[in-house]
Structure 1
Amino acid sequence: MAKILVLHTGGTIGMVSGPDGLMPAAGIVEGALERIKRNGTEIEVRTFEPLVDSAEIGPRHWNIIIDAVAAFEGAGVIVTHGTDTMSFSGAALAQALAGIGVPIVLCGAMHPLNTGGDAEGNLALALDIALGGRPGVWLAFAGRVLPAGGLVKHHSQQADAFRSIQQSQPAVPFRPLRFQDRQLAILTLSPGLSAPAVAAMLAELDGAVLRVFGAGTIMSDPVLESVLRAAVARGCRIRAVSQCESGGLLPGSYAAGAALWRAGCENGGEETPEAALIRLWLDLSR
């Protein structure tokens, strides 16, 4: 008998209407799984207590999922999750569980179960993928199966809300990683942003993903270069990625980007900001 573990963290998929809007409710996901369960399949559901809006998801929750996956012996794992931070959790699980030998399938919905929306289809697809045996971390959404390591939520309302940017993932033996308590953030450069403002933000961080312009340019400000250099010198890891969704960085293409590399910033290449953040977090957790 194939055994599937379902970790229900929360999110729209398991909500019902309340006096102030959608709210989590017990038993919704469990009931749906009972209706779609395949013959010869055993489904174990573990529910976060309390259920978590995806806006609250962070390293502590990722570690709970990683521990459950690492201890599980079965065909696959489904993680039901809100969509707003799905890209962060996808990157976190894809990197922390690299080399996993079973399918780990993220699943969420833009509309709750039992409302005639996308939830039932997404959950059924997730179950099929979890039983299918293809190792790795995936997202089952809107009739598609996407690699979870480079997810982008590109629409806040439509059912087909996600796409995936290919991320490099070297083959490694499975050794689950955990997240330690660190202060990291994604910072976005914008025209007119002052060097002192960047310095103030970096002063509070152990590491930062810096979203820069185009193929890798920043403002030609020697004070900004000094700020970046000083942060790196004190041990703050800074990983640069493009504000463009695809294409990545090309160091050396423009003189306006040379300050990044002189200051010691790392080249995130084609990484999504979420993937770059997770890479830094895991590096700083070793």
Structure 2
Amino acid sequence: MELLLIHTGGTIGMAETPEGLAPKAGLVEDALTARLPQTVTLKSHVFSPLLDSADVGPQHWNTMLDAIRSHPQASVIITHGTDTMAFTGAALSQALAGENRKVVLCGSMVPLGHEGDAEGNLDLAIATALGNDPGIHLAFAGKVMEAGGLVKHNSHDVEAFRAQPQDPLHPPQSLRFDTTRKLAILTLSPGMPADAVEAIVSKLDGAVLRLFGSGTAMNDPALISVLAAAVSAGKRLRGVSQCEAGGLQPGSYAAGAGLWGAGVENGGRQTPEAALIHLWLN
């Protein structure tokens, strides 16, 4: 059996230095090799330089996808920092939809060798990658979660992630990320000026709008006008809920009617991260 390790960086592969925790070359590779059965052939793709996950973006997702697709028979473990794990989980889940791959994301809140969660998470990732079930998953805190709807809900606890149910995925229109596209997530808030939204959206090709509850926004004709003008100009706006669970239900409240009339797309149960990836690939 062939196993591909893609080591991007993150806390799991850090060690103490005089300046504090920093990536240590070979740490993850050695820990993984020591745990593998002799029947497994390990291939590695290590990012250089190793990344803090705050720096991970579409060009790095393309690198991951290229490595995964260049090893069509391999199961894959990706070690990654936790801060943008939800974005990478959504990116790989949607980009690889229909390809029947087995990819397991893994990270930790405490580095390897520090008597924390790293060793257990890596063991779980290996067991999952060597198992029989395909899919894109996260192995973390004793749980194997679908990676397409991850939410990092705690910034310090070892049980940092939840997975929100997502609608079934279909193969995307694009298999790679166009790094020239300008997309962002905007959170609507009470009193938010319409001209501020207009200024931000004018610099973008599209945006995810985090709406109130099941899909409402403030009763501001100027804001609705800005959104409608953006859609008319060819910018895609996709709505999701600011609530972690439950998603949108257009038509439940009159306060949301202007959004849908302006052409805002219904992101349904998508997390903000999943909706952003949807805009990138479809």
Give, in whole Å, the separation in 2 of the partners of 1:220 and 1:175. Answer: 35
Q: Secondary structure at the match of 2:78?
A: strand
TM norm structure 2: 0.97
TM-superposed deviation, 1:101: 2.2
TM norm structure 1: 0.95
Q: CA-to-partner distance for each residue in 1:51-76, whole Å, 9 max, x for gaps?
A: 01100000000000101111103340
Q: Secondary structure at the match of 2:9?
A: coil
What's 1:17 paired with?
Answer: 16
Unaligned runs of 5+ in 1: none
Shift in CA distance, 256/82, structure 1 to aligned 2, threshold 3 Å:
same
Over the aligned positions, Cα root-mean-square deviation in angstroms equals 1.3
Q: CA-to-partner distance for each residue in 1:56-114, whole Å, 9 max, x for gaps?
A: 00000000010111110334000000000000000000000012323100000000001
CA contact (8 A) 1:216 1:249 kept: yes
Shift in CA distance, 176/13, structure 1 to aligned 2, threshold 3 Å:
farther
1:25-44 superposed matches below 5 A: 25-44=24-43
Give, in whole Å, the separation in 2 of the partners of 1:59 and 1:24. Answer: 22
1:177 equivalenced with 2:179 (yes/no)? no
1:120-199 superposed matches below 5 A: 120-170=119-169, 172=171, 177-180=175-178, 181-199=180-198
Query: Which amino acid is the alignment partner of residue 106 of structure 1?
Result: L
What's 2:233 paired with?
Answer: 234
CA contact (8 A) 1:76 1:133 kept: no
CA contact (8 A) 1:100 1:136 kept: no
Moved over 4 A (4+): none
TM-superposed deviation, 1:176: 7.5
TM-superposed deviation, 1:253: 1.1
What's 2:277 paired with?
Answer: 278
Query: Which amino acid is the alignment partner of residue 68 of structure 2?
Result: V
CA contact (8 A) 1:208 1:239 kept: yes
Give, in whole Å, the separation in 1 of the partners of 2:184 and 2:20. Answer: 30
Q: Secondary structure at the match of 1:9?
A: strand
Q: Secondary structure at the match of 1:64?
A: helix
CA contact (8 A) 1:98 1:176 kept: no
Q: Secondary structure at the match of 2:109?
A: coil
1:72-83 superposed matches below 5 A: 72-83=71-82
Instruction: Give percent identity, aligned residues only.
Output: 59
Q: CA-to-partner distance for each residue in 1:177-211, whole Å, 9 max, x for gaps?
A: 10002000000001111000110110010010000
Query: Which amino acid is the alignment partner of residue 218 of structure 1?
Result: A
Q: CA-to-partner distance for each residue in 1:216-236, whole Å, 9 max, x for gaps?
A: 111101100100001101111
Q: Which stretch of the first structure deviates more once superposed, 264-273 or 95-104? A: 95-104
Give, in whole Å, the separation in 2 of the partners of 1:218 and 1:33. Answer: 48
Q: CA-to-partner distance for each residue in 1:117-149, whole Å, 9 max, x for gaps?
A: 111111111111111131110001011100000
What's 2:55 paired with?
Answer: 56
